[in-house]
A and B are shown apart, each in its own frame.
Chain A
Amino acid sequence: KTQVEQSPQSLVVRQGENCVLQCNYSVTPDNHLRWFKQDTGKGLVSLTVLVHENDKTSNGRYSATLDKDAKHSTLHITATLLDDTATYICVVGDRGSALGRLHFGAGTQLIVIP
């Protein structure tokens, strides 16, 4: 059973617009949640990590929130650029160390058009 669900599956926005990606999960325990960016044909690159209840992070035009009670996270991308075209993957870790398991979502494919 899929423990990390992402929505939407795909999204097309115009350059300069904002967008919001959603992640719902059922992983227990949920030590932390990380968002990765995967460019086409490339590996995953970490954007941000959220650890605490009601955590919020900001990394340039990327910002994220985590609600551990609701087991829900959002990734906001502000003023999108063409280079933001990629798949964004939500990953929930059940421990804070490498001993834990990582649970991957299938990703949201974002396409930014001129």
Chain B
Amino acid sequence: EAAVTQSPRSKVAVTGGKVTLSCHQTNNHDYMYWYRQDTGHGLRLIHYSYVADSTEKGDIPDGYKASRPSQENFSLILELASLSQTAVYFCASSDAGTNNQAPLFGEGTRLSVL
């Protein structure tokens, strides 16, 4: 069954610390994405990747790095976590096709930076 698995599901981090969020997909999808969701706002794209070993900046990349070591895995890295990065983070994957296919989302990682 197609799936996107995120880990951890929740994390508490200290300001200035390093945080790594992981995502694994079993859908054989080329595209993977990291979004953040803040209360009262729509999801915003942080980074995405369309092939292993390559990542692209999304709309709000500042303060975040991404890594795509394989087609299945995509990580989001906060080198120096800040209070403003407290949010729920979603990973998604999609086919590169042209049929308006829906991206598949993970269940999210709730990050609290204290």
Real binding pair: yes
Do the beta carbons of A41 and B108 come within 8 Å of each other? yes
- Number of residue pairs across A and B with beta carbons under 8 Å? 61
Count the B residues whose beta carbon is within 8 Å of the partner chain — how many?
Answer: 28
Question: A103 to B44, alpha carbons, bound, how many Å?
Answer: 8
* Given A2-B42, A49-B102, CB of A98 within 8 Å of CB of B108: no
* A102: B residues at CB distance < 8 A: 43, 45, 103
Interface residues of B in 35-66 (CB under 8 A from A): 35, 40-45, 50, 59
Do the beta carbons of B90 and A44 come within 8 Å of each other? yes
Chain A interface residue count: which class? Answer: 20 to 34
- Segment of A66-74, A76-84, A104-112 engaged in the interface with chain B: A104-112
Do the beta carbons of A32 and B100 come within 8 Å of each other? yes
Do the beta carbons of B96 and A103 come within 8 Å of each other? no
* B43: A residues at CB distance < 8 A: 44, 89, 102, 104
Question: A44 to B108, alpha carbons, bound, how many Å?
Answer: 9
A61 interface residue (CB < 8 Å to B): no
* Given A89-B42, A104-B42, A104-B43, CB of A42 within 8 Å of CB of B107: yes
| B binding-site residues for A, Cβ under 8 Å | 4, 30-31, 35, 40-45, 50, 59, 90, 92, 94-103, 105-108
